Structure 1
């Protein structure tokens, strides 16, 4: 299955009571596909505030996104957690709704061994028939899915890709050693072009909420062999890609990108506790990036 090169890890729009705003969710899906050139959408990933969404909300979001996208893109459901049994349950429910694929984050907090990671992902993949994408983000989970473990998991027929936030050395090892057809996506916006250069397939992105058209242009230039122009676009949008994760006081994602969307007139509301909205100072910094 081809998910495209540019995938948005979509924020979850909330109303003033921090409940899902379904009207704005529909508007955001259209905006990400039509105005920001994203090829697919991840629903209820980290950027979608998955830790504070209930299971019912997640399933409602998956169903809504499938209906709203109406075949215009692939819908990838974030169903991973640090509880294998619950991940299997949620993955099966998402599959019943008709999502195209699953995004499975590495188990956080309980920090399993590499064999534990392998058995966790294997159990989830074998419980469904749709494609599964691994998600390696050690800064949030406390555990790295080693290259050898990812390569081993790539042999499981429906584990078809990874979103990896590791360094270029690890990503290079995965690209060269994984099963034929296994796709490697950067999980770090600033690494999109370097990952392409070592054989990666694309990016699962936060910044594509606001610079998606430019990111798609960068990717297309690289694929067409115009590396000089790709590097030029990368340099132009690098402050935005980096700045959304380097605001004053290190305000965590997705507060900065939600502020950026709201400031552009795409109303997505605030964030749920324990996250906090961007402060005035942080907002001025984000505004300076967008200019």
Structure 2
């Protein structure tokens, strides 16, 4: 299938409904109801952003599973009502509501959950650990992989890295010019959100930058840590032989995101 990679690295975009993509990515005349099917033939994963803003119907998750090929994976943004609160320890009912809303209808195509925090949210060790304790490892017999996207510099401390490792929760790496970037690996998988696509670059990122990201993704997939990304804490005591890696072209100049994702996939074949 076009877009398939033999590596343990999955590369994708954020969502599939975006008006400018109908001029630059989707074939002319493609029915909107077939956009997911088309996008899933070109990338190997998609991060669903709509779940951050509101609940989706179980039937929608089931339909998305059916419209995508075998081996395809969806990442989901966790509900903002879970993460955008003063006391995270009180988020239990919200976590449960989200995870029982039908997300498991994705079945084997359910990938990591991205619990994204606002840039104003500071690291409170006790409260953040209380939040991590609320994240179940399974729901309805399905393994749930959790990731956190933190955006305040107070999280750049070895204590936070140690806490994430204790709970097997992935700290998401973002190459954002606006938010904190943390490259430490804390879980059996890696989740990166690339947000520096440029309108002036044909593929969103330069060929040199894409080559560099392909190399970093390969190092992560092989159980290592890229030498050119600064770490907050020491390396893992024992690295695995392999990891699954998720890389999403998210923001920057979003119309170029599919081109950047497909170019990265080509480099990883």
TM-score (norm: length of structure 1): 0.52
More helix by share: 1
Structure 2 Cα separation of the partners of residues 210 and 108 of structure 1? 25
Higher strand fraction (1 or 2): 2
Residue-by-residue CA offset, 1:32-53 (whole Å, 9 max, x unaligned): 122xx2111222x2xx4832xx
Q: Which residue of 2 aligns with 1:31?
A: 38
Aligned to 1:204: 248
Q: Which structure 1 residue ranges, 5 or more long, are not aligned? A: 15-22, 225-291
2:174 aligned with 1:165, yes or no? yes
Q: Any unmatched runs of 5+ in structure 2?
A: 1-6, 20-29, 83-90, 198-204, 221-244
Partner of 2:14: 9
Go from structure 1 to structure 2 and tell me whether the alpha carbon gap of 1:218 and 1:108 turns closer, same or farther (over 3 Å shift).
closer
Asked if residue 121 in structure 1 is aligned to residue 132 in structure 2, the reply is yes
Partner of 2:111: 101
CA–CA distance in structure 1, aligned partners of residues 255 and 58 of structure 2:
22
Count of residues in correspondence between the two structures: 197
Contact persistence 2:46–2:73 (CA under 8 A): yes
Equivalence for 2:224: none
Across the aligned residues of Structure 1 and Structure 2, the Cα RMSD in angstroms comes to: 4.0
How far has the Cα of 1:29 moved from its partner? Answer: 0.8
User: Which region of structure 1 is more displaced relative to structure 2, 80-89 or 211-220?
Assistant: 211-220
Change (3 A) 1:202 1:66: closer
Q: Report the Cα distance in structure 2 between the residues aligned to 1:101 and 1:196, rounded to whole angstroms.
A: 21
User: In the superposition, relative to structure 1, how do residues 126 and 215 fare at CA in structure 2: closer, same or farther (>3 Å)?
Assistant: closer
Q: How does 1:54-93 map to 2 (within 5 A)?
A: 54-55=54-55, 57=56, 59-83=58-82, 84-85=91-92, 86-93=94-101
CA distance in 1, matches of 2:172, 2:214: 13
Map of 1:111 onto structure 2? 121
1:10: how far off? 0.4
Q: Secondary structure in 1 aligned to 2:12?
A: strand
In the TM superposition, what whole-angstrom CA distance separates every residue of 1:202-234 from its partner, at most 9, and x where no partner exists?
Answer: 52123687553553334543x57xxxxxxxxxx
Per the normalisation by structure 2, the TM-score is: 0.55
Instruction: Give the secondary structure class of the aligned counterpart of 1:41.
Output: strand
